[in-house]
Amino acid sequence: MRLRPFLLAVIAPWVVVAQERDASSTRGVVVSTSGIASDVGAAILAKGGNAIDAAVATGFALAVTHPSAGNIGGGGFMVVRFSDGRATTIDYREKAPLRSTKTMYLGADGKIDRSLTAAGWLAPGVPGTVRGFALAHKKYGKLPWADVVQPAVDLATNGFAMSKGFAESVNGFVRRSGSRFPSTLEAYGKPGGGDWVEGDTIRLRDLGKALGAIAQNPESFYTGWIADSLDRQMRANGGIITKRDLAAYRAVERAPVRGTFMGHEVISMPPPSSGGTVVIQTLNMLEALGLERFSGANDPALVHLRLEVAKRVYRDRARWMGDPDFVKVPVARMTSKAYAKELAGGIDTAKSTSSVALGKGLITVPVGESDETTHYSVVDAWGNAVSNTYTLEGGYGSGVVVRGAGFILNNEMGDFNKKPGETNLTGDIGTPPNLIAPGKRMLSSMSPVIIAKDGQLRLVTGSPGGRTIPNTTLSVVLGAIAFGMNARAAVDLPRLHHQWLPDAASLEPGVAGDDVLAKLRERGHTVRVGGRQGDAHSILYDAATKTAFGAADLRTPDSKASAPKP
């Protein structure tokens, strides 16, 4: 297929001179939202570590340098592709505590009490990051465990200089949560009071102590002094995570979900992440609709079809997807070419279909996941690749810092369907597959993706952004694979989103000029333009030269693509 190169109709506000955000190397590349963390991962590659070593080191470093989403108190998903073509995934998504109930977040009036999942001790699921990283490293890492954790220990203990954006972020966190949770103020408040400013050195000594224990033995988080401390503080503050929950938690290695697109292999995360299935189902439908007919990514007819496809795919997400250990998810059907063709056949190319009409039997009353997740991509000198997305859910999770251990707890329980049987036009979903149950993993939209062609690595990508994640990831995939863009252009490409409910599309600046917006509205779409969507740190790989080209997303100020130094 030959498609003309995409030209931005409107220059997006985040597109600036990007040389410091790009890196290319035959020795590997690490791309993340924190330049410090990317440098940590690249240093591990320079020491002879592989992509899994670098991914674990980067993840622990992000727990220090990007605490709004980087974590040891949350969870996520890792997709690994080896240089010989094998692939696997590590599911370290959080779980509901054993004392959880289906209606634990409903008030006396029967309505969802969002304050209970927004912050505080009742909001967290059982953290999975430490066991997830330990599982990945034990099976596939190369360097000693302590070597890949120690850089994060040093960062937390010795401190690092704060950027302007990081200082502002931490100040906001302390203002929001410090008065409610004294341990948060102790950990992140500026010694002596006042606001942090650019250039200040922040030291997180309690977090360094916990990371030091984890460097010696990751089980200290689940059965050692860290677990004991968390159990005591939960009981003292009305939380329900116990030592039993922590000891029982297991990360799981799962077979990836796979698909094809334009002669490429698509490898991504299976349930309990919905992201991989959503991405593959969407690509299948776009193929069935004849993507090769369109001259560019901002063709109004293609934008219309992408929005219509998204409505149907996200409806299926709500209908069927949840933790596969609790519900049967029809992944094979959802990712089949035949089903995609069937769904695509119902799309009207001239007008929008109402989400209410598409949701017949699911919407029960008339008339979001948070975006504070983070993604990073890694490729090593041998062509092994890791795509990792993990989260605390909301920015800084529950707002609670565990005293003496220094880490922030997630508020991931909000990703469950919280009111059984109620799915409404504002976006609340009450379908059975993702209802709360003890020991169950909450549904996610995280979409770590790896693309290969002819048995060779081609693209590593993913993003934060709640339910926007699959659509952000799709934008990068379409840019690189369908439109032949380089890594920088594919990451800079403006993005769009629709999630079935509410029935409205959001477009970043640059997706559509006034003429395109007019045509979309003529077709019946409700469209909002503005803001930014996601943070897709990505790597394109040239198998012929064995060169990785990393592009950090310019939508965040401290991101960086780092290559190993000689």
Q: Which string of DSSP letters, residue by residue, matches 357-401?
A: HHTTTT--S-----S-EEEEEEEETTS-EEEEEEE-SSTTTTS-B
Report the mean per-residue pLDDT for the chain.
93
- What pLDDT, on the 0 to 100 scale, is given for residue 312? 97
40 neighbors 61 (Cβ within 8 angstroms): yes
3-state DSSP assignment of residue 87: strand
* pLDDT surpassing 90 at residue 372: no
- Under the banding of pLDDT at 50, 70 and 90, the label for residue 20 is confident
Phi-psi region of 491 (alpha: psi -120 to 50; beta: other; left: phi over 0): alpha
Quote the tokens at residue 283.
Answer: 């690509």
Q: What is the pLDDT of residue 341?
A: 98
Q: What percent of the chain has pLDDT over 90?
A: 88
pLDDT band of 438, cuts 50, 70, 90: very high
Residues 135, 253 contacting (CB under 8 angstroms)? yes
Q: What is the mean pLDDT of residues 351-378?
A: 76
If pLDDT is split at 50, 70 and 90, which confidence band does 371 have?
low
Span 143-152, average pLDDT: 98
pLDDT band at 428 (very low <50, low <70, confident <90, very high): confident
Whether the per-residue pLDDT at 310 is higher than 70: the answer is: yes
Tokens of 106: 């409903």
- Averaged pLDDT, 56-78: 98
Q: Report pLDDT for 370.
A: 54
The predicted structure's pLDDT at residue 4: 35
Half-sphere exposure of 140 (CA within 13 A, CB side): 26
What is the rounded distance in angstroms from the CA atom of residue 20 to the CA atom of residue 550?
11
pLDDT surpasses 90 at 550: yes
Say what the pLDDT of residue 121 is.
98
Residue 367: its pLDDT value, please? 32
Residue 368 has pLDDT above 50, yes or no: no
pLDDT of 8 > 60? The answer is no
Give 423's DSSP letter.
-
Residues labelled catalytic: 373
Do 28 and 54 touch, CB atoms closer than 8 A?
Answer: yes
Asked whether the whole model's pTM tops 0.75, one would answer: yes
Give the 3-state secondary structure of 225-270.
HHHHHHHHHHHHCCCCCCHHHHHHCCCEEECCEEEEECCEEEEECC
Whether 282 contacts 326, CB under 8 Å: no
Omega before 330 cis (within 30°)?
A: no
pLDDT in tens, 189-234: 999 999 999 999 999 999 999 999 999 999 999 999 999 999 999 9
Q: Please answer whether residues 316 and 333 qualify as being in contact, where contact means their C-beta atoms are separated by less than 8 angstroms.
A: no
> What is the rounded distance in angstroms from the CA atom of residue 476 to the CA atom of residue 451?
11
Contacts of the segment 84-90: beta carbons below 8 A, 24+ positions apart? 85/452, 85/455, 87/256, 87/258, 87/267, 87/450, 88/253, 88/254, 88/255, 88/256, 89/253, 89/254, 89/255, 89/256, 89/269, 89/270, 90/132, 90/135, 90/136, 90/251, 90/252, 90/253, 90/254
| Token representation of residue 161 | 């200089």
Residue 298 phi/psi, 5-degree rounding, is: -100, 15
Q: What is the pLDDT of residues 51-61, one digit of tens each?
A: 999 999 999 99
pLDDT digits (tens, 9 = 90+) for 231-280: 999 999 999 999 999 999 999 999 999 999 999 999 999 999 999 999 99
The residue type of 25 is S
Separation of alpha carbons 4 and 323, rounded Å: 41
